[in-house]
Amino acid sequence: MRLSIVIVALCIAHGAYSQGLFSSIIRAPSQIANGAGNILSGIFGGGKSEDPCSKNVMEEYKKSVTAFHNKLYTNIAARSDNHFVFSPYSVWLSLAALAEGSDASVKNQIFSSINMPLQWCRRKKFYDIALNVEPEGRDVTLKRRRSLILDEDVKVLSSWGRLMRSTGLLNYAYAPIKSNPRATSKKVRNFIGTRSNIVLKGNSVLLDSLDFNGLWTTSFPEAGIRSQPFFNELGQKIGTVQMMHLKKKVRLAHAPFMGAKVLELPVGTNGRYTMLIAVGTGNGILKNAIAIFMGSIMEIFSLLQMSLFPLDVAVPMFQLSSEYDLRPALEDTGIRQFWRNPEATKLVSDPPATPGGLIQRVSIKIGSEGVEPPPTAGKGLFDGIANLASDTATGVASAVGHEFTADRPFMFALFDTETRTCLYAGAFSRPNAMKRL
């Protein structure tokens, strides 16, 4: 399970200076200068400027997905009373897929709103990265379903359909949304795996679901699992959780701008995913920190330090499931065209698809099992000396101590380790006594 929290950075559109009168005035002399430069370059063996389509886009990709994740995370959190989980990654891909079918007059506007490059060659590289962050494996299961369901009277245009099939961006299917809404609602419920009643609007709907179950890279020992109290932000007991205990060297960070300490736990074989868990060092962690959590992911990652000695780690086992129509949250972040403007999907279908919503259900299970066995508890004089030393030599011990215990409301996120793609993120604040998963 590779869970990592991602920092959100807004992409600023470039090249605006070239649109005004000033550029018209200087265009001719600049072309002369460029021509002279090219001649001299040929004479002296200079190279051509690098083609922007040939550049590595990984860092640009990280900033783009993080910017989108941040906008959506804070909005969802505000609607969820600090207890939720959702997957920003798949929402981003679905919206990008629809935007590929936008009329030229609004396409660039939409891509800017979802932090996508305007050049197709760079977007294609983004898609190639994003569509390969959830490889199948026995260590981590990410069962994801994502599709655009269209009314039977709406027909996908061949060019957009070919693009979806060649890239794998988004599946699509037909259903009698208008003529038989009850049967369609049942089909939708089965597709995303929910019993909730779904009211369909418009001539289409975006569906998205994720079921996660994975193994930590290192197991938590069974002997270390015990029932413990869970507290609210004021230190009052509000429930009970099955707390998993582990003593090992981990990466930990102090994030003073959030008033929190952050633990990194690798997930899956060779830590191919990263989970970040943030717990407050004072009162009001969720209220004060959620708004900046995802927006500060990159900084948080840069602050992580490996402890010099094994630390006491305690995190609860839990299951969490959330279901939303994300359209209101997306509209609040400025993404309104898909639901209101036929030009936004003019090249997707005939007539243009106008989705009534984007319904997402995400369910996760966090247990104790791991790919590797738990570390062996140390014994003897040397280990006693090491444990004593760890009180003052853990790298960040002066700020966060020599333990990490998530026994009060906390935030969490799972990332693809290499690309920093956030596969799901949320917050946990409502404990209950649970059976072992």
163-207 tens-digit pLDDT: 999 999 999 999 999 999 999 999 999 999 988 888 888 999 999
**pLDDT 10s digits, 295-343:** 788 888 889 999 888 999 999 999 999 999 999 999 998 999 999 999 9
Per-domain boundaries in the chain:
58-214+320-365, 216-318+369-428
H or E element in which residue 71 lies:
helix 58-79
CATH superfamily of this structure's domain 58-214+320-365: Antithrombin, subunit I, domain 2 (3.30.497.10)
Taking the C-alpha atoms of residue 135 and residue 270, their distance in angstroms, rounded to an integer, is 14
Q: Which tokens hold the place of 383?
A: 């280990």
Q: How many other CB atoms sit within 10 Å of the CB of residue 377?
A: 11
User: What are the structure tokens assigned to 111, written together?
Assistant: 């891509």
Q: Please tell me what DSSP assigns to residue 193.
A: T
Exposure string for 107-119, b = 16+ CB within 10 A, e = fewer: beebbebbbbbee
Mean pLDDT, consecutive 10-residue segments, the chain of 437 residues?
A: 35 34 35 43 51 89 90 84 91 96 92 93 96 93 96 97 96 96 92 87 95 96 95 90 95 87 96 94 67 80 90 95 94 92 96 96 96 76 46 51 88 94 93 51
Q: Which two tokens stand for residue 362?
A: 């995400």
Locate all alpha helices (DSSP H) within 80-216, ordered by sequence: 88-99, 104-113, 120-130, 158-167, 181-192
- Axis-axis angle for helices 88-99, 120-130 (nearest 10): 150
Identify the three-state secondary structure at position 63: helix
Give the pLDDT score at 397: 55
Dist CA 424 CA 143 (whole Å): 12
The pair phi, psi for residue 219, each rounded to 5°, is -65, 155
pLDDT of residue 78: 81
CATH of 216-318+369-428 among 2.30.39.10, 3.90.226.10, 3.40.50.2000, 3.40.50.11890? 2.30.39.10
CB atoms under 10 Å from CB of 237, counted, come to: 11
Question: Cα–Cα distance between 28 and 25 in angstroms, integer?
Answer: 7
Residue 48: the pLDDT is: 53
Could you tell me the CA-to-CA distances from 423 to 59, 95, 106, 126 in Å, in that order? 18, 16, 28, 15
User: What are the percentages of helix, strand and coil residues in the chain, rounded to 5?
Assistant: 35, 30, 35
**Identity at 136, one-letter amino acid code:** E
**CA-derived radius of gyration, the chain:** 25
Alpha carbon 225 to chain centroid, angstroms: 29
Q: Which helix (H) or strand (E) holds 34?
A: helix 21-44
In terms of DSSP bridges, do strands 305-306 and 370-372 run parallel, antiparallel, or are they unpaired?
Answer: unpaired
Please answer whether residues 419 and 133 qualify as being in contact, where contact means their C-beta atoms are separated by less than 8 angstroms.
yes
Q: For 360-392, how does the pLDDT look when each residue is reduced to its tens digit (9 = 90+)?
A: 999 999 999 999 999 876 554 444 444 444 444
Go through the chain and tell me how many residues it has: 437
pLDDT at 280: 84
Is the whole model's pTM more than 0.85, yes or no?
Answer: no
| pLDDT at residue 390, rounded to an integer | 44
- Confirm whether 58-214+320-365 and 216-318+369-428 share one CATH topology: no
